[in-house]
Homo-oligomer: A and B are copies of this chain.
Amino acid sequence: MSENNFNIDGRNKVKRVPDRGHYDRETLYQILDDAFVCHVGFVMDGQPFVIPMAYGRKDDKLYLHGATTSRLMSSLSAGIPVCITVTHVDGIVVARSAFHSSMNYRSAVVFGTATLVADQNKEEALIVVSEQILRDRWPEARPPLDKEMKATTVLEVSIEHGSSKIRTGPPKDDKEDYEQPYWAGVIPMTVEYGEAIPDPDLKFDLELPQSVKQVVG
């Protein structure tokens, strides 16, 4: 097994439709890099919680940020196990049969432990998150003040274990159903950026900044 592949164990093994499962870091990282909102799962008093959070990836680390006062951040920073999942829905797979109707998607499931990022590394980690949300915005914006940095908790999750699942392409129906006149195909789904809406309280006549231009074209 290459060092770029995860070991397969009971936790990350894709059991259903195993040919959709991938265990290499490259595939996982591509899926992670195409989004900036993940779903973070953790346990408190036996109760599962799933909370959406912004994130950024750098190498084998994910960074999550939130307010120092939040329950989530204080729970997570205690070093508890987390499961972080990112899903792209790429289309509705319209099969001939109800049974084979499906979705095209790419999902990444990451297992790790959240730890607090030390004060001296916080800004670097925040830049990773900011870059993932809107590349090149950080140097354009007013930099964080000391009190703002203090009010921000950043967590680091080492990607210890993970797996990806991908489905692409047309439906796969039962052989005999192809002989029946049912329509079948895929309705693609994409996330689109609309035209930028300037803040109505802008007091200056400003061109769109480079970071925004890059996204809205």
Residues of A near any B CB (own CB < 8 A): 11, 15-16, 37, 39-43, 46-52, 54, 66-67, 69-72, 81-85, 87, 89, 91-92, 94-99, 101, 103, 105, 107, 109, 111, 126, 130, 133-134, 137-138, 140-145, 148, 151-152, 170-171, 177-204, 206-209, 211-212, 215-216
- Closest Cβ of chain B to A49, distance in Å, is 5
Q: A92-B133, A99-B148 are in contact. List 18 more A-B contacts (CB 8 A).
A: A15-B69, A37-B87, A39-B39, A41-B49, A41-B83, A43-B46, A94-B209, A94-B211, A94-B212, A99-B152, A101-B141, A179-B203, A184-B199, A184-B202, A187-B193, A187-B216, A190-B194, A191-B192
Residues of B within 8 A of A143 (CB): 97-98
Residues of B within 8 A of A203 (CB): 178-179
Copies, count: 2
- Sample 22 A-B pairs with CB under 8 A, ordered by A number: A15-B69, A16-B71, A39-B39, A42-B48, A43-B43, A48-B83, A50-B85, A51-B85, A51-B109, A94-B137, A94-B196, A97-B143, A99-B148, A99-B152, A101-B141, A134-B187, A141-B182, A170-B199, A183-B206, A187-B212, A188-B193, A189-B194
